[in-house]
Structure 1
């Protein structure tokens, strides 16, 4: 299959989702929000009332998610859960269950299935290291925890969701620790990834840098 792949990994609130989506639109590529799959699993687990330590049941839920992505909307069955999966509670639960190897393995085939011509932009935490190690361009986006907390704070307020910036900062620190220290697919840059610190960059500047890096890579391969 002739399909180019760009992976954009990074911690929570680094801007990877927004950047990946815009890059995909500009290149007319498909887009994979891998984090949404874990959030969908988390939401399903929270609603089911099953024991959060029952890894087998959680993996079963992950492997059989009745979800679909339509443009910028995300559906679980017939329900639009685009906003429901973005709460802090769901995000924290997703971070916990993402540490379970069985859950991660249950979602591998679903993620690799997004690879289609002419190309794919995939964002997450292990896109360049585990899911698409063959990617043409691997980006690792990062930013200081204070900048990321401020970004998340503004996002929540814009949605009318009350938030406390100190709590958000502490949550980010804990998520970073959990994501980076897990045994299965820890949050680390791929060896051949290019790290971009977005602390002082806005979305447009970051998108331009990613597109420029991809154009450079493509010209070398042509």
Structure 2
């Protein structure tokens, strides 16, 4: 069974999807981390960001592994590195690159082949797994999302202001919505859940109830 969880930055989808996968005993596919890892690899190799072919070659040749709560890039743990403000800013070059996206979508589909998976991202229900049995779209007001991101960055030792986080989030939202391929879209058969006013535990409980109901209906 494939469960997709899509939504904008700061909607709480990453932590909710990870916890949901643990509760269900499913694999967790964090697709955003894959694009971040490619951006980090490009940064490490001092890629020319204006030459898409260079980053595409890096994506085709690097090895990304998702294990438990860690992200490995060519056998190196980059879980914290890919979450910095700088790599977040550069990730658009990976996400907007058609060849990078093609490579990673193929990797994501291989990861899920024959498995029970919770896949989280922007285009999981619309592009990567349109056949998914349960599609969920998480969202929240922009101020709530910015506050979550701000607290996350501060906890990682980043020096940022809430205003700068909100400004950057608005730019990301616009980029995500306008992206010609793999942009942020709600699938027509996705269930939308607004997470404003809900605790992380309440979000996971709601998701688990939805998935278990779908599992019962499908069998």
TM-score range, shorter chain: over 0.9
- Which of 86, 89, 92 aligns to 1:92? It is 89
Secondary structure of the 2:112 match is: coil
- The answer to whether the 8 Å contact 1:99/1:179 transfers is no
Shift of 1:117: 4.9
Corresponding residue number in structure 2 for 1:153? 150
Query: Normalized against structure 1, the TM-score is what?
Result: 0.94
Instruction: Provide structure 2 residue ranges, at least 5 long, that are not aligned to the other structure.
Output: none
Corresponding residue number in structure 2 for 1:165? 162
Query: Normalized against structure 2, the TM-score is what?
Result: 0.96
- The answer to whether the 8 Å contact 2:29/2:66 transfers is no
Match status 1:221 vs 2:218: yes
List per-residue Cα deviations over 1:76-106 (Å, max 9, x = no partner): 1232111000012111211243122222112
Shift of 1:74: 1.4
Number of matched residues? 219
- The answer to whether the 8 Å contact 1:5/1:122 transfers is yes
Corresponding residue number in structure 2 for 1:47? 44
Corresponding residue number in structure 1 for 2:185? 188
- Higher mean C-alpha displacement, 24-33 vs 194-203: 194-203
Shift of 1:14: 0.9
- Which of 71, 74, 77 aligns to 2:74? It is 77
- Which of 24, 27, 30 aligns to 1:30? It is 27
Corresponding residue number in structure 2 for 1:175? 172
Corresponding residue number in structure 1 for 2:200? 203
Superposed CA RMSD: 1.2
Paired with 1:68 and 1:142, the residues of 2 have a C-alpha distance of 27
Instruction: Provide structure 1 residue ranges, at least 5 long, that are not aligned to the other structure.
Output: none
- The answer to whether the 8 Å contact 1:30/1:116 transfers is no
Match status 1:129 vs 2:133: no
- Higher mean C-alpha displacement, 136-145 vs 91-100: 91-100
Runs of 4+, deviation exceeding 6 Å: none
